[in-house]
């Protein structure tokens, strides 16, 4: 059901189209250090990591946007050390010397990702425990059956759009929409936000010139949701955080919701895309699934080893002079956790062709006190979504040669650009939950129309008795389904 905003205001307007506006960037910057942004880094991030490993070992000096120096952790063991030693490698980004020296401009594309926020991600010690426990309690309130119900509903709705055509592009028509649609339900957000948030969330993590505007849209959307839940709490993460004994402020709630929404969306989109790519291109992988030799959940671990949803995480700040991976780290230095590089460290994986089904010692969800709190939800969205998709379209097959598939990369993630597929065209029966949701929306609209009529009658009566300005009635907005189908039919 679409929930009107309590103050009658219109929903925040999403940012316009967000091109990257790329400039020519040399791969080598000041001091002979390699940049983690620009054409070379984005064209072949894995190759860049291996060049750095060959030159520096487990920890390499690099340059971020604006040519700010940082350390990229490449070794598996070195990453574990940084993840599990918050006393030396703090999550509080305010300790970064670049922030202390006011070297980061307010329009830097780094800010949406690295700027300190009042959330557990940027806290350590007791404050971290207070905030993280509230988030964990809220996330643990969701059961797998409830999540699968949302996944089934939205997967069916999405497949209904292209099922009769016999062809689809699974990145833009499926993977990029499913996680955000499910997460908006878990957060208790109005349905129509899902499609609009997809573009803003994708742009934000790319670190483009419009990342700040996209971040502002996400923040405004979440603040509206918090206002709704103050008046009408429900069984959702927003309401649970607002009511938690930890007594989070509205700013703390908003920032935690933002972190969950963006991290869950980006990581789950990539996990779904890379898992579907493996299913469609690796005959042994699909045979093992079909033959029952492994579960889809076990198969996802192989994907998490080979293609972690986030290539790196920014980051950690050194609290004192120390040594890591043979490098001398100074207090105030900024470190990036190289998850993709650590997962292919020759020390732990001398033979990359050896299967790792069911092995969860990868770095894709981090480790230590800041290990991803929502990893189970993300995995379940991906696992259920792929399972339901393959059930609805059992003869799904790749429509182009595998070598034609391409990726785009940003400094923290790598994204499959397109996954065109073919299948036997047929109509997809609507999911009962969608039918029920449509009926509830119809009843809600009828109720609102009756309420509007009553308000108009009351206003006329009041005007007749004592002239006064007419009551303002919120304008009706399009449902998320109208918005989503409009996107696909352009």
The distance of Cα 214 from the centroid of its chain, to the nearest Å, equals: 14
303 found inside a domain: yes
19 found inside a domain: no
Dist. CA 214–CA 220, nearest whole Å = 10
In the predicted structure, residue 16 carries a pLDDT above the cut 60: no
H or E element at residue 96: none
H or E element at residue 274: helix 250-281
Q: Find which of 10-14, 312-316, 462-466 is predicted with most confidence, using mean pLDDT.
A: 312-316
More confident residue, 262 or 16: 262
**208 touches 109 (CB < 8 A):** yes
In the predicted structure, residue 435 carries a pLDDT above the cut 60: no
Cα 201-202-205 angle, rounded to 5 deg: 85
Q: Residue 294, Cβ neighbours under 10 Å: how many?
A: 16
In the predicted structure, residue 307 carries a pLDDT above the cut 60: yes
For position 117, what pLDDT does the model report?
A: 84
Dist. CA 410–CA 45, nearest whole Å = 9
Residue 352 structure tokens:
């990359």
In the predicted structure, residue 17 carries a pLDDT above the cut 50: no
480 found inside a domain: no
Mean pLDDT within 265-279: 92
**187 touches 236 (CB < 8 A):** yes
What average pLDDT does the structure give for the chain? 84
Dist. CA 193–CA 207, nearest whole Å = 22
**407 touches 264 (CB < 8 A):** no
More confident residue, 59 or 292: 59
402 found inside a domain: yes
In the predicted structure, residue 336 carries a pLDDT above the cut 50: yes
Dist. CA 63–CA 48, nearest whole Å = 13
How does pLDDT run across 92-146, given as a tens digit for each residue?
A: 999 999 999 999 998 888 887 899 988 898 999 999 999 999 999 999 999 889 9
More confident residue, 347 or 288: 347
How does pLDDT run across 35-81, given as a tens digit for each residue?
A: 998 887 888 899 999 999 999 999 999 999 999 999 999 999 999 99
How does pLDDT run across 146-159, given as a tens digit for each residue?
A: 999 999 999 999 99
In the predicted structure, residue 281 carries a pLDDT above the cut 70: yes
**97 touches 348 (CB < 8 A):** no
More confident residue, 334 or 201: 334
H or E element at residue 152: helix 144-162
For position 291, what pLDDT does the model report?
A: 65
Least confident of 46-60, 166-180, 231-245, 352-366: 352-366
For position 319, what pLDDT does the model report?
A: 97
For position 248, what pLDDT does the model report?
A: 94
The boundaries of the domain holding residue 107 are 30-427
**Tokens 């009511």 identify what position?**
243
Dist. CA 385–CA 176, nearest whole Å = 12
In the predicted structure, residue 464 carries a pLDDT above the cut 80: no
Dist. CA 68–CA 104, nearest whole Å = 9
pTM comes to 0.79
How does pLDDT run across 413-428, given as a tens digit for each residue?
A: 888 999 999 999 999 8
318 found inside a domain: yes
Least confident of 80-84, 189-193, 465-469: 465-469
For position 95, what pLDDT does the model report?
A: 97
For position 211, what pLDDT does the model report?
A: 75
Mean pLDDT within 334-343: 97
CATH code of the domain in which 125 resides: 1.10.630.10
336 found inside a domain: yes
For position 476, what pLDDT does the model report?
A: 46
Q: What are phi and psi of 353, to 5 degrees?
A: -85, -10
262 found inside a domain: yes
Total structural domains within the chain: 1
Dist. CA 192–CA 10, nearest whole Å = 12
In the predicted structure, residue 285 carries a pLDDT above the cut 80: no
In the predicted structure, residue 397 carries a pLDDT above the cut 90: yes
For position 245, what pLDDT does the model report?
A: 96
**Whole-number percent of the chain with pLDDT over 90:** 56
For position 84, what pLDDT does the model report?
A: 96
126 found inside a domain: yes
């Amino acid at each position: 059901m679409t929930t009107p905003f309590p103050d009658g205001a219109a929903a925040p307007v999403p940012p316009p189209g967000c091109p990257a506006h790329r400039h020519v960037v040399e791969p080598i910057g000041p001091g002979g250090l390699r940049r983690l942004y620009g054409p070379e880094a984005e064209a072949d991030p894995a190759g860049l990591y291996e060049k750095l490993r060959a030159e520096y070992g487990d920890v390499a000096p690099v340059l971020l946007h604006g040519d700010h120096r940082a350390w990229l952790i490449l070794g598996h063991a070195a990453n574990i050390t940084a993840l599990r030693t918050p006393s030396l490698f703090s999550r509080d980004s305010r300790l970064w010397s670049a922030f202390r020296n006011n070297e980061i401009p307010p329009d830097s594309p780094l800010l949406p990702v690295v700027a300190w926020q009042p959330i557990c991600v940027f806290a350590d010690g007791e404050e971290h425990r207070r905030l993280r426990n509230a988030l964990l309690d809220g996330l643990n309130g969701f059961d797998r059956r409830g999540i699968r119900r949302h996944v089934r509903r939205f997967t069916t709705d999405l497949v209904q759009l292209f099922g009769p055509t016999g062809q689809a592009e699974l990145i833009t028509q499926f993977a990029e929409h499913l996680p955000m649609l499910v997460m908006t339900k878990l957060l208790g957000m109005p349905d129509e936000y899902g499609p609009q948030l997809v573009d803003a969330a994708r742009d934000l993590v790319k670190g483009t010139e419009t990342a700040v505007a996209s971040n502002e849209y996400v923040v405004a959307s979440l603040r509206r949701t918090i206002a709704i839940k103050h008046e009408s709490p429900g069984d959702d993460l927003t309401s649970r955080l607002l009511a938690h004994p930890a007594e989070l402020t509205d700013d703390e709630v908003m920032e935690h919701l933002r972190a969950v929404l963006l991290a869950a969306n980006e990581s789950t989109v990539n996990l779904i895309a890379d898992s579907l790519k493996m299913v469609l291109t690796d005959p042994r992988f699909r045979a093992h699934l079909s033959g029952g030799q492994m579960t889809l959940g076990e198969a996802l671990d192989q994907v998490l080893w080979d293609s972690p949803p986030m290539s790196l995480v920014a980051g950690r700040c050194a609290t004192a002079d120390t040594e890591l991976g043979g490098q001398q780290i100074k207090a105030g230095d900024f470190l990036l956790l190289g998850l993709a590089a650590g997962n292919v460290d020759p020390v732990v994986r001398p033979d990359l062709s050896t299967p790792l089904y069911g092995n969860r010692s990868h770095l894709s969800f981090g480790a230590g006190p800041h290990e991803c709190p929502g990893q189970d939800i993300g995995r379940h969205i991906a696992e259920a979504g792929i399972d339901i998709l393959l059930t609805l379209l059992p003869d799904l097959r790749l429509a182009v040669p595998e070598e034609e598939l391409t990726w785009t990369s940003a400094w923290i993630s790598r994204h499959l650009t397109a996954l065109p597929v073919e299948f036997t065209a047929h109509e997809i029966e609507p999911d009962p939950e969608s039918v029920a949701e449509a009926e509830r929306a119809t009843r809600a609209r009828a109720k609102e129309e009756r309420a509007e009529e009553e308000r108009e009658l009351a206003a006329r009566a009041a005007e007749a008795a004592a002239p006064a300005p007419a009551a303002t009635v919120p304008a009706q907005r399009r449902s998320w389904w109208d918005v989503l189908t409009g996107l696909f039919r352009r």
